[in-house]
Amino acid sequence: MKKTVGIVGANGYTGSELIRILAFHPYVTLSFLYSRSNSGTRISDLYPDLTTVCDQVLTHQTEEVDVLFLCLPHKESQNWLTQNPVKDETLVIDLGNDFRLDGNFENRNFIYGLPEIHKKQLVGSKSIANPGCFATAIQLALLPLAEKGLLNEVYTTGITGSTGAGQSLQATTHFTWRNDNISAYKTLTHQHVDEILQQLIAYNNKEVNLNFVPWRGDFARGIFTSSTMKTEMKLEEIEQLYQEFYAGEPFVTVSLRAVDLKQVVNTNRCVIQIEKSGNVAVIHSAIDNLLKGASGQAVQNMNIAMGWEENAGLHLKPIAF
């Protein structure tokens, strides 16, 4: 029998991506799609791409389900769970940032859901905090070096698509502003830095200085990051380290060729490339911010927690052109 799933905040970008994936997932069925602002609206009327995929009507009523995805704005998941108690047996996966730094909430202890390093803890878990999009891309780029205690001072730039800002219209998401334009934002103060450092320092076993400058890109989806640091390791040694670290991981590829966003957009993949000149190395990583950076990784976490194949429902092809 298939497991039942509910999505809270189903009308947003991450919610609609979850619907697209879960509508074809072999082990689940969508029970309810929750939305306060669009209750009574058919989801395919909001997202015509879901026509013939899902025609359910959004509701402000909930049901008991086996798996609950919270796709709410940051800092709203705690309030929602307080006002809408969920049975202990329900697997709750939060795509916001409420539980990434402190996973304790009432009788739940949220596990940080980066599968490549926390797979054992995720098996059987009932509470998962899905990582942020930039946090996912940057951690996957740096964790192999952190495991060897090789991180000290790191300088990272990252560019993200407009969907990373969410569905609500803002001055910097207008087409006329975003098109043919890029800009830096939250320089050295991005909200994902604490989340990234919490994991890197635990692996590195010493302090890491991360200097992160995020950029807004003039494209809809995808994240591309480049992390620069000094190291005496040879390029071949670094590549071997990464190949060994991610051996057997279904969604991380270490590439010897140049990386670009079209290799990952519309997939749950992360592609990493390493370059080196003198004693300076650059680690590039690319993901789809809505999939490996959000909804796809949430489904990956569900699969692990439920004991299913890790890639169930996630056989997605990149958009090459």
Tokens of 225: 């990051």
Q: Which of 54, 71, 133, 270 is catalytic?
A: 133
The verdict on whether 54 is a catalytic residue reads no
Active site residues: 133
